[in-house]
């Protein structure tokens, strides 16, 4: 005769919820480096008590991601059901409502957003791998149906690939849970991002023929030509080979969880040998980011210093970002970790993000002043960060539709807007 397992007591459920909330905050600020002992200490309990609720750190991560996906599904189902009562003429308002709800959810589940943003670390269970790779189909469906409602009512342009636009909307709002927007109210970020996506930054509708021959785009293309081709980047000497594999491992696993021992195992050398060649992980990060940032900064400088209009500069930067991501994918992933501020603070990385924000703020303010751009509070940090974030096209979209189509998508969502003018 089997005895049914006893249901958890309310006090146990509360304690488990407290552990999850504390772990979520610690993971969001410090990444996977947090230990179970540190989580227990922050909860005011002994590690043994924590093991009563969770068998491992991964078990906590799995539950955090599961809660996140459950919340996304509930939001998507609820938003889809609400559309039956929405007038197509009010579709833009409904898009903002849904986008704001997604951004707020992402902010509350910041740790889970980060876990799903990276590939799981090496050695992760199949359950964690599958959870981290789940697409947020419920909110994507809700957003797509909302966009289609707007299109049927004549509010949204009919010449767009709405599934791609829906994916872009959802990803833009989910990224509010990452470090780029840390400290800003999610609803304000969502409103600014929606304003860009719906109505575009350009006051006048820019044509492809005008943008394709701009000085800014030509300047960026000239910089791209100076980059090494993929086949030229294959290392032949030992140090370069280790450096290249280290970048691959950091990009694949994420900065937080990759160790020098992991890199040594991937290279097939002893840990001591790798230390002697590339130094500590912090020194490796500095070296990678300095090399990568020089390429990115050269492109930004070429675009912003081209003498083109503000619209043409932003267009050229979007092409730069697409090429940076495709050509230097591992460095791109490592840079995202740095921007989230989960790695330790490293001086002299080569590219000062605050300096870039300041420069973009000035460009936006000038563009608004001369009547080329439309953006509320263009000289604010939030406006600059939203514009910088929007010039990056999600990697899955670039991979799915190709670089040229992704560039057209950037023009539609950043400069022109998806709403009918």
pLDDT for 231 equals: 60
pLDDT for 345 equals: 47
pLDDT for 79 equals: 97
Q: Are 163 and 263 found together in one domain?
A: no
Ranges under pLDDT 50 in the chain: 1, 3, 340-350
Q: Which domain holds residue 397?
A: 208-416
pLDDT for 391 equals: 93
Query: Exposed e or buried b for every residue in 33-54, given b needs 16+ CB within 10 A?
Result: ebebeebbeebebeeeebeebb
Q: CATH number of the domain at 348, please.
A: 1.10.357.10
Q: Are 271 and 147 found together in one domain?
A: no
Q: Are 270 and 387 found together in one domain?
A: yes
| Token pair recorded at residue 258 | 């990759």
pLDDT for 354 equals: 82
**Is 4 part of any domain?**
no
**Is 62 part of any domain?**
no
Number of domains in the chain: 3
Q: Are 294 and 167 found together in one domain?
A: no
Q: Are 180 and 294 found together in one domain?
A: no
Q: Are 365 and 274 found together in one domain?
A: yes
pLDDT for 349 equals: 47
């Amino acid at each position: 005769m089997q005895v049914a397992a006893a249901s958890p007591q309310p006090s146990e459920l509360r304690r488990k919820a407290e552990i999850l909330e504390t772990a979520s905050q610690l993971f969001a600020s410090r990444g996977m480096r947090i230990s179970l002992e540190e989580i227990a200490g922050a909860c005011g309990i002994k590690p043994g008590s924590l093991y009563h609720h969770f068998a491992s750190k991964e078990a906590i991560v799995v539950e955090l991601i599961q809660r996140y996906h459950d919340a996304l599904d509930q939001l998507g189902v609820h938003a889809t059901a609400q559309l039956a009562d929405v007038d197509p003429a009010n579709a833009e308002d409904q898009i903002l409502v849904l986008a704001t709800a997604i951004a707020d959810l992402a902010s509350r589940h910041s740790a889970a957003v980060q876990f799903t943003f990276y590939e799981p670390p090496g050695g992760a269970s199949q359950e964690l791998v599958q959870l981290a790779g789940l697409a947020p189909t419920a909110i994507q469906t809700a957003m797509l149906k909302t966009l289609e409602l707007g299109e049927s009512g004549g509010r949204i342009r009919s010449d767009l690939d709405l599934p791609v636009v829906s994916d872009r909307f959802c990803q833009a709002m989910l990224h509010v849970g990452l470090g780029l927007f840390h400290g800003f109210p999610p609803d304000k970020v969502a409103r600014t991002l929606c304003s860009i996506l719906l109505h575009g930054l350009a006051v006048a509708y820019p044509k492809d023929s005008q943008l394709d021959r701009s000085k800014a785009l030509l300047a960026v293309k000239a910089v791209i030509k100076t980059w090494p081709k993929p086949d030229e980047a294959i290392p032949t000497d030992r140090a370069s080979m280790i450096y290249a594999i280290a970048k691959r491992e950091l990009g694949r696993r994420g900065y937080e969880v990759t160790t020098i021992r992991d890199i040594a195992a991937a290279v097939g050398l002893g840990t001591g040998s790798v230390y002697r060649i590339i130094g500590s992980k912090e020194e490796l990060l500095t070296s990678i980011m300095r090399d990568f940032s020089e390429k990115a900064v050269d492109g930004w400088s070429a675009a912003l210093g081209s003498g083109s209009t503000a619209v043409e500069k932003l267009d050229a930067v979007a092409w730069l970002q697409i090429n940076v991501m495709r050509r230097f994918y591992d460095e791109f992933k490592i840079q995202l970790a740095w921007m989230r501020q989960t790695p330790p603070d490293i001086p002299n990385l080569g590219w000062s993000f605050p300096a870039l924000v300041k420069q973009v703020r000035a460009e936006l303010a000038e563009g608004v002043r001369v009547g080329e751009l439309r953006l509320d509070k263009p000289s604010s940090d939030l406006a600059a960060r939203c514009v910088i974030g929007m010039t990056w096209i999600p990697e899955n979209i670039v991979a799915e539709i190709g670089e040229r189509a992704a560039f057209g998508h950037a023009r539609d969502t950043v400069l022109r807007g998806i709403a009918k003018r």
